[in-house]
Structure 1
Amino acid sequence: MSSPETYFLPRPTSHVPNSPLPVLVYRSALPLNPTPEATCGLIEPNNWLKGGVFKHYPAHHFHSVTHECYAVFKGHSRLLLGRGPLDPGTENDLLVDLKEGDAIVLPAGVAHCSLESSDDYEYVGLYPKGSPPWDNNFCKAGEEETKEKAENAMDVPVPDSDPIFGVGGPLVEIWIKAMGRAWKPYGTQRLTQVEA
């Protein structure tokens, strides 16, 4: 298994916070013929916990209080990342194709929706242990509310563990580096920001 693909969406839109943390895509990360149970058996020991099993979800949305991992155990989907339905589309829109066995980690604040999916597309949604229940923001709020949601998203801590590789996996290092600030561990592998 190789390191994840990284996709940066640092620029906010009028309706979407996005994040300085990159979206991470892990190709062929799950065992062959994955099931929800096998997927959870692989990822939950890494302190990313099942929030549900989901199918095609065409609504643009983001979560401002938690990061999210999709682990695809059936079918395929094309995701549009980084903009909402009120934002203009461009030739630079970020589209990511996911198929059975792939996993994607979406930082808090990054908009996502399924544009098209196979009829059998299903994935497990997993969230860092200790996260509050996710909120759904549908990328239609005004500037003030979007700014508030952006501040919430920036306060979501970097998890202490990579969902696929576990402690010491690439997510933590990639995300801390992307923050462009000094960080230090405290407690048991929890990370907190240190002002330079």
Structure 2
Amino acid sequence: MSAKTSSLMLLMSFAAGTFSAGASANPQHLLLSNPSGGVPNNPLPLIIWPRVVPEDQQDITAWFEKTFAQNGWPPAWRYPIFPYTHYHPNTHELLGVAAGWAEVLFGGDSGRMVTLRAGDAVLIPAGVGHKQIHASDDFIAVGAYPEGMSPETRRDEPDRLRQSLEQVNQVPLPTRDPFTGNEGAMTAIWTPIAKLSAHQ
């Protein structure tokens, strides 16, 4: 393990420890920093908010769209996730599961499978591959991006990896957490990792 990877893992452990255990909306994270085939991935971890939608909400879709918009992540679409590996080299992507469930492969062919259910949200760093593997018939997600960002979509193409890695490194860190509008899980986890990466 390199010194950089070791430092990142230490930071990840510290960030995880800042959240109380057992809370239903306790953010989780998944580090997918190494490229996989033509997928660049990212030193910033995937952040998952399980069951972040309040239990009394009848319209999960509307809640996600309103919450995202209020906090600087304008909703852009309602749709399932593409059934092939793809990533966005120019922007981070936020998904809120509005209905059903899906098994999603994150990080390319050598990545990790995650099951997302209605009420969950996931923040996908720029460059991290994602692909819907299985899903319920009613699965639908709300997709959003930081204000002013529009996604470029690329597939797993090894001949474009170097270009994509350079592009991912230029993506700015969002300034607003999608659920608080200021500091929150995103800033607590991403900001120290981004600062460490910038100095190495």
Structure 1: give runs of 5+ residues left out of the alignment: 183-192
After superposition, the Cα gap between the structure-2 partners of 1:39 and 1:51, relative to the gap in structure 1 and judged at 3 Å, is same
Q: Deviations over 1:108-153 (max 9, x none)?
A: 000001100000000100101121x2111111241xx211111111
* Aligned counterpart in structure 2 of residue 24 of structure 1, from 41, 47, 53: 47
The one-letter code matched in structure 2 to 1:102 is D
Matched residue, 1:187: none
**What CA distance in whole angstroms lies between the structure 1 residues aligned with 2:81 and 2:91?**
20
2:113 is matched by which residue type in structure 1? L
Q: 1:181, CA displacement in angstroms?
A: 2.5
Aligned counterpart, 2:8 = none
State which drifts further: 117-126 or 40-49. Answer: 40-49
CA contact (8 A) 1:81 1:94 kept: yes
Larger helix proportion of the pair = 2
SS in 1 for 2:76: strand
Q: Does the Cα contact within 8 Å between 2:53 and 2:60 map onto a contact in 1?
A: no
**Which residue of the partner structure matches residue 186 of structure 1?**
none
1:8 is matched with 31
Following TM superposition, the consecutive aligned residue runs of length 4 or more in structure 1 with deviations greater than 6 angstroms are: none
In the alignment, does 2:155 pair up with 1:138?
yes
Provide the rounded CA distance (Å) in 1 between the counterparts of 2:80 and 2:106: 17
Q: Could you say which residue in structure 1 is the equivalent of 2:87?
A: 62
Instruction: Compute the displacement of 1:34 (Å).
Output: 3.2
Q: How many angstroms does 1:4 deviate by?
A: 1.1
1:21-60 superposed matches below 5 A: 21-31=44-54, 32-60=57-85
Going by fraction, where is strand more abundant, 1 or 2?
A: 1
Q: CA deviation at 1:33?
A: 3.4
Q: What is the rounded CA distance, in whole Å, between the counterparts of 1:161 and 1:56 in structure 2?
A: 24
Q: Bigger shift: 38-47 or 20-29?
A: 38-47
- Equivalent positions of 1:142-161 (< 5 A) are 142=159, 145-161=160-176
1:164 Cα deviation after fit: 1.7
SS in 1 for 2:40: coil
Query: For 2:129 and 2:39, how far apart are their aligned partners in 1?
Result: 6
Q: CA deviation at 1:105?
A: 0.4
Gaps of 5+ in 2: 1-23
Q: CA 1:23–1:43 in structure 2 vs 1: closer, same or farther (change >3 Å)?
A: same
Q: Could you say which residue in structure 2 is the equivalent of 1:81?
A: 106
RMSD (CA atoms): 1.8
* Contact 1:56-1:121 at 8 Å conserved across structures: no
TM-score computed with the length of structure 1 as normaliser: 0.83
The whole-number CA distance in structure 1 between the counterparts of 2:185 and 2:106 is 21
* TM-score of the aligned structures, taking structure 2 as reference length: 0.81
- Distance in 2, Cα, partners of 1:165 & 1:49: 14
Aligned equivalents of 1:114, 1:149: Cα separation in 2: 22
Tell me the amino acid that sits aligned with residue 98 of structure 2: F
Alpha-carbon distance in 1 for matches of 2:52, 2:179: 7
Aligned counterparts of 1:181 and 1:35: Cα–Cα separation in 2: 36
Counterparts of 2:59 and 2:184, CA distance in 1: 21
Partner in structure 1 of residue 126 of structure 2? 108
Aligned counterparts of 1:103 and 1:130: Cα–Cα separation in 2: 21
